[in-house]
Homo-oligomer: A and B are copies of this chain.
């Protein structure tokens, strides 16, 4: 296994610690901020906080796994013999990615029937997308990585289509004060989510060894902060605006 320079090791280490602080702070913010939104939006804010809480748990595990995977001696990074557990990310995403789409659907406050229908479809597609990515992630062979990347892109593109086209009518039905915000939330989802397939292909683009490990870990970390903590707080802002519009 090609190893890391000490600065690369430190960069990833500090990025993980930073993310623990961000996810913890976002969780507290969302659970406290839940009292500031009207009854119909409480579940959307609860789920936003659950997503960052689940990510907090997994970043604590990822941080510990990173620490135990390397042994540092006089500034030289050596493998400790314990493998870094990549699966934590996928286990996290399997839970949080469907929940992120539920946040968006719940804050829109559609009819009960439409909430159930769209929620079940989008979160099902999101779970399939994550499951299809995993066999590629744990492979070092570019061909295998490309195959699973391509398969995983199918549910991804269906979700993109559903967000941009399938939800158009529901967005037109939003109160004027929230229409622009809800529409932007779709775009934030699409932009932050597109980080993941890009980070996934970095090791297939000629970036190898320590640079690839560092780019993938830091890339996924930035994507998680934007897609979970920043997005969750945005959902809370929408819930606050819509609560004010109701009153």
List A residues at the B interface (Cβ < 8 Å).
10, 13-14, 17-18, 20-22, 24-25, 28-29, 31-36, 39, 42-43, 46-47, 49-50, 53-54, 57-58, 61, 72-75, 81-83, 85, 87-88, 91-92, 94-95
Contact = CB atoms under 8 A, between A and B. Distances in A.
Given A14-B88, A21-B57, 13 more contacts: A14-B85, A14-B91, A20-B57, A21-B95, A24-B54, A25-B53, A29-B46, A29-B47, A29-B50, A32-B34, A32-B46, A35-B42, A73-B81
B95 A22 contact: yes
A21 B81 contact: no
A42 to B, nearest CB: 6
A211 to B, nearest CB: 20
Contacts of A85: 10, 13-14
A87 B57 contact: no
A21 B74 contact: no
A28 B42 contact: no
Number of copies: 2
28 contacts: A10-B85, A13-B85, A14-B91, A18-B94, A18-B95, A21-B54, A21-B57, A21-B58, A21-B92, A24-B53, A24-B57, A25-B50, A25-B53, A25-B95, A28-B31, A28-B46, A28-B49, A28-B50, A28-B53, A29-B46, A29-B50, A32-B34, A32-B42, A32-B46, A32-B49, A36-B42, A74-B81, A75-B83
A88 B17 contact: yes
A147 to B, nearest CB: 19
A82 B91 contact: no
Contacts of A13: 85
Contacts of A82: 72
A50 B47 CA distance: 19
A72 B83 CA distance: 10
